[in-house]
Each structure stands twice: as C-alpha cells, then as structure tokens.
Amino acid sequence: MEHVPVLLEAILSMLQPAPGRTVYDATFGRGGHTRAFLQRGARVVALDVDPAAEAEAQKLLAEVGPDRFCFHRANFSDLEKVAAKEGQADGLLLDLGISSPQVDQAERGFSFQQSGPLDMRMDPTSGTTAADLVNNLSEPELRNLLREGGEDRDPGRIARGIVRARPLATTLDLATAVCRATRPARPGAKHPATRTFLALRRAVNREGETLEKALSAVPKILKVGGRMAVLTYHSAEDRVVKHWIRGHAEEEKREMGMAFGQANPERWVKALEEVVPSEEEISINPRARSARLRGAERLQEEKK
Ligand SMILES: C[S@@+](CC[C@H](N)C(=O)[O-])C[C@H]1O[C@@H](n2cnc3c(N)ncnc32)[C@H](O)[C@@H]1O
C-alpha cells in the first residue's frame, strides 16, 4: 500500500514551509511530507535509517537537486550531527513509527497478518532482530519488555507462552504463540498480538531511547522561532512527547502564581495546539487512526 502522509495540512500549518526556510524531515519514509514541504518552496533536510527510504530519496534528489533537498541515511538520534553540517532548522518533523510499505513487506517482519522472518529492524542492515530477542531473552526479561514497550495486559502469560513455543522463526509463529497464551479476542477487538509486536518493534529499534535523544537535541537544531511537530501512534510514545513539551513550555501565568509578564528562564518553548485526525481522514487512511500531533515553538536560548 502506498504511504499516505498523516495530518498533512495540520503539519504544514504548524511548520510553515516556504522559500527561504529549512525544514528537517527526520523520518523521510516515502517522502510524503517532504514532497509537500518542497512544493511550498522550503529546503528539506531528510533523514531515515531505512535503505528503501534512501532509494526513494535518491529519486527525489534527481528531481529537485541538491540546493533544495538532501538526504542522510542516519538515525534521528544523530540529528545534532546532521544539523552541525546542514545548519539549523525553521521546522522539524518527527513522524514516528513505520511506513505503510514497511508494514506491507512481509520480509521486514513487522506484520502478524502475513508470514515473514521475525526481523522488525527499520535498518535491516544492522542490529538485533526480533527473533534474537524472543529466542534468547529470559522469561522475566521478556515479561518486562512486553510490559514496558507495548503495555500488554498480560505480559507474564505471553512471555511464558513465547518461551514454551521456542524456537520462533516467523511472524506467524509469534502471533500463534501469543494467541495460544491469551484469551480469544472479542469480535471487533484488536488482534491479541498487536501490543506484543509493538513492544518488540520498539525494543528492536530502541525507539524510546532514540526519541529521547532526538528531543534532547532540539535546542541545538531549532532556530529561535523554529517549530517542531511530532506525530505519535501510541500512548507510550505520546506521553514522552507530551511530558517533554510540558517540561519545557512556558507555564500559564495563573498556574505559576506569577505576576503577568514575568518570564521563567527554564521554559524556552511555547506548546502548540494538539491535533488528531478527523473521521474523514481516518476513513480515507485507516493508518491515521491512532495518530496524535503535538508541536512546540522555540522561544529563546535554552537556559541550563
Ligand atoms: C511513519 S514513517 C514516515 C512516513 C513519511 N512521513 C511519509 O509521509 O512518507 C516513519 C519512518 O521513520 C523511519 N524511522 C523510524 N525511526 C527512525 C529513527 N530513529 N531514525 C531515522 N529514521 C527512523 C522509518 O524507517 C520510517 O521510514
């Protein structure tokens, strides 16, 4: 399935791509958002760890040329290094998670709907696979991974079921082990393996750690007045972004009990309005279902 960019209009109005402005797309994917930034005249600096994203970016580079677009096959935890080379940003987009083509390619191992190797690496050229984790972690380690990464309701039972079913080679082996270990899903409920797959994908790609690292680099990346937009697809990820923004955002004066006009030097971003997709967008693009967009604008120098 082609990847349809999520909440495109809201992201455009948040990041305001225009001639003379540089927008970082830290999760290029298939370039859906990037193309719209370019159409509005911005220069785009794109990153992705996936070689398939790089191949797509090479085509785009041939179309628009290096003055308008560049691509780094890099993890967004290294945004600071990229920004040191490419300059600071007027806008920064993080569209977290995986793209539709990644889900749809059985050999990437992200989907329990089709059989594929238990891989789940966004960069399939390096690192630990999901098979390494499910076959080698101890039962308590697996239980913790499932509890923390996907908020599985019964992580102990699922961890036990996985250990019993070892060795697991394919996505269907894992989905079957999870189904055997859990109660049958109610009609219309999510597949019982949804959270297990999410937890493993997050662990394989160190998603919590890389997001924290990218957020901590924001003061080095964004110009004063620059804006960040982050699209998340599950509650654990959204909580990290929400707390980061709240932790750095100007507090409302009444909450602080401060006189109006008194600035707090620790607070150096302004939180932007939160957006979720409309029913109409979800009906056209069901993968937008769980999306949530948060944004922040940089106000001043970060104070230590
Ligand atoms: C949801 S897709 C982005 C889709 C894109 N906005 C579009 O419209 O085509 C997320 C992309 O981010 C990439 N990605 C995920 N984590 C990453 C990380 N830590 N560093 C760099 N790229 C990452 C994935 O490989 C995937 O291609």
Residue 82's domain is classified under what CATH number?
3.40.50.150
Domain identity same for 190 and 223: no
The reported pLDDT for the residue numbered 254 is 42
- The string of pLDDT tens digits covering residues 158-186 is 999 999 999 999 999 999 999 999 887 77
Of the residues 180, 204, 228, the one at which a domain ends: 204
**Residue 193 maps to a domain:** yes
The reported pLDDT for the residue numbered 190 is 83
Atom of ligand 1 nearest to the CA of 99: 2
pLDDT above 90 covers a percentage of the chain that reads 82
Of 236, 137, 135, nearest to 195 (Cα)? 236
The reported pLDDT for the residue numbered 75 is 98
Q: Which residue has the higher pLDDT, 232 or 300?
A: 232
Q: Whose CA is closest to atom 15 on ligand 1?
A: 97
Structural domain of residue 163, as residue ranges?
123-204
Domain identity same for 40 and 186: no
Packed helices 235-248 and 207-216: angle between N→C axes, nearest 10 degrees = 20
124 lines ligand 1 (CB under 6 A): no
Atom of ligand 1 nearest to the CA of 52: 27
98 lines ligand 1 (CB under 6 A): yes
CA 196 to CA 145: how far, in whole Å? 9
Q: Work out the mean pLDDT of the chain and round it to a whole number.
A: 92
**Residue 23 maps to a domain:** yes
30 lines ligand 1 (CB under 6 A): yes
CATH label of the domain that carries residue 180: 1.10.150.170
Count how many domains the chain has: 2
Rounded to the nearest angstrom, the distance between the alpha carbon of 30 and the centre of ligand 1 is: 8
53 lines ligand 1 (CB under 6 A): yes
- The string of pLDDT tens digits covering residues 74-86 is 999 999 999 999 9
**Residue 188 maps to a domain:** yes
Average pLDDT over residues 261-279: 83
CA 145 to CA 151: how far, in whole Å? 9
**Residue 263 maps to a domain:** yes
Domain identity same for 287 and 238: yes
**Residue 260 maps to a domain:** yes
Domain identity same for 90 and 232: yes
The reported pLDDT for the residue numbered 303 is 57
Return the top range by mean pLDDT from 17-21, 192-196, 218-222. 17-21
pTM over cut 0.75: yes
Domain identity same for 280 and 132: no
Average pLDDT over residues 232-242: 95
Q: What residue spans of the chain are helical by DSSP H?
A: 8-15, 32-39, 51-64, 79-86, 100-104, 130-136, 139-150, 155-165, 171-181, 194-204, 207-216, 218-221, 235-248, 253-256, 279-284
Domain identity same for 177 and 31: no
**Residue 117 maps to a domain:** no
**Residue 93 maps to a domain:** yes
> Greatest CA separation found in the chain?
64
Domain identity same for 190 and 156: yes
Of the residues 186, 204, 222, the one at which a domain ends: 204
Of the residues 159, 186, 204, the one at which a domain ends: 204
**Residue 238 maps to a domain:** yes
Domain identity same for 282 and 139: no
210 lines ligand 1 (CB under 6 A): yes
Domain identity same for 171 and 212: no
Domain identity same for 198 and 217: no
CA 74 to CA 114: how far, in whole Å? 29
